[in-house]
Structure formats: C-alpha cells, structure tokens
A and B are shown apart, each in its own frame.
Chain A
C-alpha cells in the first residue's frame, strides 16, 4: 500500500531542460541585481528629457531668428529687391550659432568626467543634442523655403544649394572650433566664423556673381560635399575624443 502511494507520488514528468528559460532567469536575475527598473526612463523619454534641459532662451532665440527669416522673405516677395542671399547669409550662421553653447557646455572638462559615469553616456547626450538642433534648424529652413516658394519669390535650385552649403559650412566650422579651442573662446570664435562666412558670401555675390554664375551650381555642390564630409569627420572626432579619454564607445554607449 505504502509502496504504491510512494510510487504514485514519484510518477511525474520531469520537464525537458530548457536553455532559453535558463537564460531568461539569468537575465531577470541580472535586472534585479542592477536596480529598480521601474524607476528607469525609456529611450524616448531620455531624448525628450534632453529637450527639457536646453534653456528656454535658446528656443526663444531660434524662434526670433525664424521670425526674422520669414519676415525677410515676406518683404522680399513684396519688394523684390533681390536680397534673398543677403538674408540667408546673415540668418543661417545665427541659426547655427544659437545652439553652439549648448553643445560645448556639456564638454567642459569637469562636467564631462561626471557625465561619463552616468548611465546614458555623454556620447549619447551629445548625439541627441546635435540631432535635435539639426532637426529644428532643418524644420525652420524647410518652412522658410516653402513659404518663399509659395510666395512666388524667385527660388531656384541654386538658392537651395546655397542654403544647404552655407548651413553645413557654418555647422562644420562650429564643431571644428569646439573640438580645437578652449571652451570659453568657442562662442567668440564661432561668431567670428559666422561673420566671416556672411561677409564672404556677400562679397562673392556682389563682385564675382556674374563671373562664376555658370559654374555656381557645381561649385556649391562641391562645397556641400566637402562641408558634409568635414562635418561628419569633426563629429566623429568629437565623439572619438571621449573615447580617447578612456571609455570604449562601442562597449559603453
């Protein structure tokens, strides 16, 4: 009787060894070990939070610049003074300059070390900020170009190439300056670079316009390609510079 009962108790199916379940358990244990996941932000939240910490004055400056740009376009469409290039030459460097301080402030040496020890690496924070400013500037310029087109302001392919070339020259230059100068001098040198670009464009437009007009599209295309290449290599240097300081980006990002 007893044997029968024991025998019955022992009759159960042993589930097959499940490697996946074992790995899942390990993963769960790891999560439990490394803290309260319920208090964690999602990736999207972490991007949105970065927006929150960019000072309001930066957004206000960008809005003012966008307003000036569109007022300029509107007035140009009414008066037709041919000053589209002049407006763009002044506004685009300013648009780019408005976000420069927010990029270089997180690269100040004493803060950099602190941010490098946080969960979301400084590389991620930098990339988020660069992309954010890039997207906002793109939207402002796209809106302005569309309104110029809708207002039947003369707007050809050359003008579009010009906008892209100037923006990339300014951005690439600013990132180069951030990478190669001391933090306190960045805004001053970037402003000088923006001013130089504006003057250079106005001079080219007024003096050499007729001479180079035939080859202008090709020239602008070359400038765009070169400036994008330089911009990309400077961004890589900027993020790589953090790697040189120690952390292997691939493993830590």
Chain B
C-alpha cells in the first residue's frame, strides 16, 4: 500500500500554500509537523480530495485519487481540524449518518457504531447531543466517525488542538493502536504529540518538506550542537539574538538556557542529547534569525 504525492502545488490567489511537494508514504504513522500557516492543512485537504491541486498529483497504489473517486473515499478516514456536526444530533445518530454517507448498510452501521463508540469511551454518552460534549469528547467522536469504513488511509488534521495533556496522551495511545496496516498522517504543531508514536516525522515549512525521517535520524542531525548551561541575566539578550534558543528560565539568580549552535560559545555549557523539539526550533527559528 502506497500513497505517492508527486510535484504537488496549490496556489491561492497570491499565496503558494504548497510548493512542488513530493513524497511517498507506506503503512505507518507519519507526523506532519510545522508552524501554523506552513501549508499542512492545505496538503491534508488535497490528500483527502477536498482541494484540488494546482499542479501535480496524488496516487494511491499507482492510481490517481481523482480517478479512483468513490473507491479512494472508501478507504479514507478524515478527522478535520474543526469538527463539524449537526448540533441536534446525538453521537449515535451522527455516527449512523456518517455511516450512511459512507454507504454502509444500516444494520452493519449500528453494530459498528456501538463498537467504535465503545472504543473511544463514548458509549455511555451516545444518546447525549453533541453540542453538550466537551472538546475532548468531540475529538474522540471525530476519530470514531473516521474509522467507520475501516480506512486504509487515516488523516488527522491537528486532532489534539485544544485538548488537555491527559486527553492528548489518551489520543496518542489511541492513534498508535489504530496504526496497524494503515497509513496514518497526523498533522500537528505540537512536537510531543508525534514524538513517541510517529514512525516518521515530516517537517513542513513554506509549503515544502524541510526535513523528513525517524525521530532518531532527525535528532542525529543536531548531535553535538545542542547546549545547556547557566548565564548571567545581562547576557541573556546577546544569547537570544545570536543563537536558536530552545528554552530558558530563571534559576538561582541566573538564567538557564538551552540553545543550538555549531560551536560551543563558552566552556560553561555542556553538550546535551538533542530532542525533536530542538529540531523543530532549529528549522523554524533559523529562518527568523536569518
């Protein structure tokens, strides 16, 4: 199973949201990371067939997804960034409605709805109106509806936005469990969301893929370039302007900083093991500094 994106571009009037993007995805979890406005949602909407590309194409198992039409949508599950619903519908009714537009037999849909609502811990609340649900419950319902057709390609657009840490952890676990025999694309700008569950991380910047690889491969690129140490308060501005600061906080009347630099600026700093967050900061801050 392979989803291949070739020379994909999307132009909105004066803005090139996605620019000549090429990638191939096989079974596994892919974390699509990038700041807000780098083109993640545009790419995702093209992968879902909601937006048509200005140039390029997307192929699933060698066939263009537009030519596949219904057949592609049959194997697609999509959790949008903002989850739309009929306010008067209960979770169960909404699931049955989505099952209907996905073309599932009502009897089969009822069984599946029961099973999926159970899996996302919403069975007890299945008869409550969606408008009364919390953000986390709505997200879980969003996942459940996407799984109705047992999708081979599952696309989640910032599914953890607005969730508390406990709900985010629950969500990560759920996606990890679901990933078997599927292509899962998980878009987010929160590094920790994908750090532990993604087989591969795709960093997007200005509509292009900036960097791609496993967490180990990506962090290796920064090995020996991430430093930690204490500085005096008066030096903080200098360090902030010179280096990619990952973190800083006051401690014992000094400032503890973590930053990225090719060379050690002072022997007071010690080299530390890079994390995915360092990679993220390095990509997005280096542009701002330059």
Q: Is the CB of A113 within 8 A of B104?
A: no
- Decide if B49 touches A55 in the complex (CB within 8 Å): no
Q: Is B101 at the interface (CB under 8 A from chain A)?
A: yes
Pairwise interchain contact A247-B49, C-beta atoms closer than 8 A: yes
Query: What is the CB-to-nearest-CB distance from A127 to chain B, in angstroms, rounded to a whole number?
Result: 13
Q: Which of B46, B74, B78 contacts A246 (CB 8 A)?
A: B46
- Report, as a range, how many residues of chain B touch the other chain: 35 or more
B222 at the interface (CB under 8 A from A): no
Interface residues of B in 53-89 (CB under 8 A from A): 66-67, 69-71, 73-76, 78, 80, 82-86, 88
> Chain A residues with Cβ under 8 A from B45's Cβ?
113, 246
- Knowing A116-B50, A118-B101, say if A252 contacts B80 (CB, 8 Å): no
Interface size class of A (residues with CB under 8 A): 35 or more
The yes or no answer to A125 lying at the interface (CB within 8 A) is yes
> Does A16 have its Cβ within 8 Å of any Cβ on chain B?
no
Asked if A111 is at the interface of the complex by the 8 Å CB criterion, the answer is yes
- Listed residue (B69, B88, B145) with the most chain A CB atoms within 10 angstroms of its CB: B69
Q: Which residues of chain A in 223-253 are interfacial with respect to chain B, using CB atoms and an 8 Å cutoff?
A: 245-248, 251-253
Digitize B112-123: 1 where CB-to-A-CB distance is under 8 Å, 0 elsewhere.
000000000000
CB of B22 to closest CB in A, whole Å:
20
Decide yes or no whether A188 CB sits under 8 A from chain B: no
A158: Cβ under 8 A from any B Cβ: no
Task: Please state if B75 and A35 are interface contacts (CB–CB under 8 Å).
Answer: yes
* Contact present for A39 and B105 (CB under 8 Å): yes
Contact indicator A125/B69 (Cβ below 8 Å) = no
- Chain A residues, Cβ within 8 Å of B104: 39-41
Q: Are B88 and A55 in contact (CB under 8 A)?
A: yes
Cβ B74 vs Cβ A35 within 8 A: yes
Assess whether B83 is in contact with A119, with CB atoms less than 8 Å apart: no
Q: A156: CB under 8 A from chain B?
A: no
Are A53 and B97 also in contact (CB < 8 A) when A117-B76, A251-B69 are? yes
Q: A35-B74, A110-B84, A117-B76 are in contact. Are A248 and B52 (CB under 8 A)?
A: yes
On whether the beta carbons of B80 and A246 are closer than 8 Å, the reply is no
Residue A146 is within 8 A (CB to CB) of chain B in the complex:
no
- Cα distance, A115 to B76, chains bound together (Å): 12
- B67 close to A251 (CB less than 8 A): yes
Q: Are B49 and A40 in contact (CB under 8 A)?
A: no
What's the count of A-B pairs with C-beta under 8 Å? Answer: 110
Are B100 and A50 neighbours in the complex by a CB distance under 8 Å? yes
Choice from B66, B102, B106, B150 contacting A118 with Cβ under 8 Å: B102
Q: Which A residues are CB-close (under 8 A) to B93?
A: 53
| A40-B104, A246-B45, A252-B49 as given contacts; A118 in contact with B73, CB under 8 Å | yes
Using known A-B contacts A55-B88, A120-B103, A247-B49, determine if residue A35 contacts B150 with beta carbons closer than 8 Å. Answer: yes
- Nearest CB of chain A from residue B39's CB, rounded to whole Å: 15
Of residues 86 through 139 on chain A, the ones whose CB sits less than 8 Å from some CB of chain B are 105, 108-121, 125
Tell me how far the C-beta of A33 lies from the nearest C-beta in chain B, rounded to whole angstroms.
8
- Is B51 on the interface with A (CB-CB < 8 A)? yes
The reply to whether B102 and A119 form a contact with Cβ atoms under 8 Å apart is: yes
Chain B nearest CB, measured from A99 CB (Å): 15
Bound Cα distance A125, B85 (Å): 15
The reply on B98 being an interface residue by CB < 8 A is yes
Q: Determine if A119 and B101 form an interchain contact, defined as CB atoms under 8 angstroms apart.
A: yes
Given contacts A35-B149, A111-B86, A251-B67, contact A117 B103 (CB under 8 A): no
Q: Which residues of chain B are near A247, meaning CB under 8 Å?
A: 49-50, 52, 66
B32 interfacial by beta-carbon distance below 8 Å:
no
Query: What's the nearest-Cβ distance from chain A to residue B257, in Å?
Result: 41
In the bound complex, do residue A109 and residue B100 qualify as a contact, i.e. CB atoms below 8 Å apart?
Answer: no
Find A113's partner among B52, B84, B97, B101 (CB 8 Å cutoff): B84
- Expressed in whole angstroms, the minimum distance between the Cβ of A123 and any Cβ of chain B is 11
Cβ contact within 8 Å between B50 and A49:
no
* B84 x A108 contact (CB < 8 A): yes
How near does chain B come to A130, taking the closest CB pair, in angstroms?
16
Q: How far is the CB of A38 from chain B (nearest CB, A)?
A: 8
Q: Are A34 and B51 in contact (CB under 8 A)?
A: no
A111 CA / B82 CA spacing, docked (Å):
9
CA distance A108 to B102 in the complex (A): 19
Q: Given that A46-B103, A53-B100 are contacting pairs, would A114 and B84 also be in contact in the complex, using a CB cutoff of 8 Å?
A: yes
A119–B150 alpha-carbon span in the complex (Å)? 13
From the candidates A30, A40, A45, A246, name the one contacting B51 in the complex (CB within 8 A): A246
8 closest cross-chain pairs (CB), A and B: A110-B84, A111-B84, A246-B51, A118-B101, A119-B103, A49-B100, A117-B78, A246-B52
Q: List 7 A-B contacts (CB under 8 A).
A: A53-B93, A55-B88, A110-B84, A112-B84, A113-B80, A119-B73, A252-B66
Known: A40-B105, A111-B86, A115-B101. 9 other contacts (CB 8 A): A40-B103, A41-B105, A53-B96, A108-B84, A109-B84, A112-B84, A113-B80, A114-B83, A118-B103
